[in-house]
Copies of this chain bind each other. A is one copy, B any other.
Amino acid sequence: MELKLEPLEGGVTEAKGFRATGISCGLKDGGYKDLGIVYSQKPCETACSFTNNQVKAAPVMFDLARIENKISAVLVNSGNANCLTGKTGDENVLEMARLTEQFLSLPEDSVMVASTGVIGRKLPMDRVTYGIEKICKMVKSESDIKNFSHAIMTTDKKPKNVAYEFKIDGKTVRVGGSAKGAGMIKPDMSTPHATMLVFITTDALISKSALQSALKDAVDTTFNRISVDNDTSTNDSVFLLSNGMAGNTEITEDSETFSIFKEVLAKVCLGLAKLVVKDGEGATKLIHIAVKNAKSENDAEKIARAIADSYLVKTAVFGQSPNWGRILAAVGYSGARFDIAKVRLLMNDLVIFENGDVNKANESRAGGEMISPEINLTIDLNLGKADFEVWTSDLTCDYVKINANYLS
């Protein structure tokens, strides 16, 4: 079956029956929006992916206990991570869900909660309570993707929305998502890192197990392959909600349509993942690292991640310096199998190193390539058939300034 995919402008509100909005309730200074909600007119099958950090924020523990439930809304606050907040934190997240259920007349246990912001501060529940009442009233009748996008931001500079429309058996189906995340990014969720929060909705009718399987695959090849600073957050969460309102024949793991759904979902996730890296704290470059022809995928992954995590490679890219020596030094300490005599290193399309030696002519040309906002590094090991790719950002003075001052 051929896939005709239409990109849409919006994000989490593009699928039928979903609304979202955002307000300020006083968690952030300066009147910035800090409380958001995603709401579905019909209860949703849900698949989630949470941080693998052993220190998990209260809302993550809370959502994990609701993972089998039908979900109608996800409430999200920024400005406070509700993490390492003890028993009070657990009580507060329960109260947030309970109030949302009450004000939206939803069944018990049908709301999930996400938080991002400073760790170790208790939520000011008087402000949160007031905010929940207000936002629930609003989302019953209106939807505003811009306000939602701003409500989930912390150090983000830009809203991050991706959505696509396609057909299944003549029915229009949409998958769309909105994300936040700029620092503390290296998703390692049994599926992402940052605090990265991702909200994806679809009106596809799809079985719960197919939804879970599709999300796991999509997260593994997108959010789990980006890194800004190699710190795994306590709050990373990806929510995928499907309300079935597109009216398509149900997608199951056995149906022909499953691979199409997976492809679209992966495209939404990759789009959002790249937006997160591009908006990485202080970032000026998107760096794509592709390791090719390794002995094993594990070897390819080790090398890709060693380069992506190297302070020296990331500062060199910031300096627009084609410092291939630092890249090969990272290959060397990655722990992967390789033979330096067989390694080919490319910067964008220029071969910089092969047959154990530098290509002098291309090295001087590479200076020009480094001015580009997107840098492709290809490391061809010529040893086997396994590939791995990751995306990262450069390491800049602004990254240091942002994080020297931000309490997160």
Contact = CB atoms under 8 A, between A and B. Distances in A.
A324 interface: yes
A50 B52 CA distance: 35
A330 interface: yes
A326 interface: yes
> At the interface, is chain A mostly helix, strand, loop or mixed?
loop
A333 interface: yes
A231 B326 contact: yes
A166 B63 CA distance: 63
A84 B400 contact: no
A332 B403 contact: no
Q: Chain A contact residues (Cβ within 8 angstroms of B): what range?
A: 35 or more
Interface stretch (A213-221, A261-269, A353-361): A353-361
Contacts of A377: none
Contacts of A401: 397
Contact of A315 (B315, B319, B333, B403): B403
Contacts of A85: 357
A1 interface: no
A396 interface: yes
A143 interface: no
Given A231-B326, A403-B315, A54 B408 contact: no
A316 interface: yes
Interface stretch (A9-17, A157-165, A304-312): A304-312
Interface of A: 52-56, 81, 83-86, 118-120, 183-184, 188, 229-234, 309-312, 315-316, 318-319, 321, 323-326, 328-333, 338, 340, 353, 356-358, 395-397, 399-401, 403-405, 407-408
